[in-house]
Amino acid sequence: MVKKKVNKKKVTAKEKMKRVHKVTAMLNDKEHDAITRYCKDYKVKNKSKFIREMVFTAILQTYERDYPTLFSKQVMADLVVEPR
């Protein structure tokens, strides 16, 4: 039995990073005004890029803060040596 060769298309880095999933969020008037005012004051030209960067900044900071360690926070605090 001869196996057929499957033609697999090489996926480029650009294609991997293409955004295909849509996320929608609802804002109240004050939240919308705050974002609009911020974008106007700081000359943000691309609101979706700005919001995406803010969301992922918060996510990465949370991951960094909550990263599991070998020892508990209390044990790590007890290990700190104070300079003389």
Q: If the chain, 84 residues long, is cut into consecutive pieces of 10 residues, what is the mean pLDDT of each piece?
A: 76 88 96 98 96 96 86 82 75
For the chain, the C-alpha Rg in angstroms (whole number) is 23
**pLDDT value of residue 45:** 96
**pLDDT value of residue 66:** 84
- Name the pTM for this structure: 0.64
**pLDDT value of residue 37:** 98
**pLDDT value of residue 82:** 76
**pLDDT value of residue 32:** 98
**Helical ranges in the chain per DSSP H:** 13-16, 29-41, 47-65, 73-78
**pLDDT value of residue 26:** 98
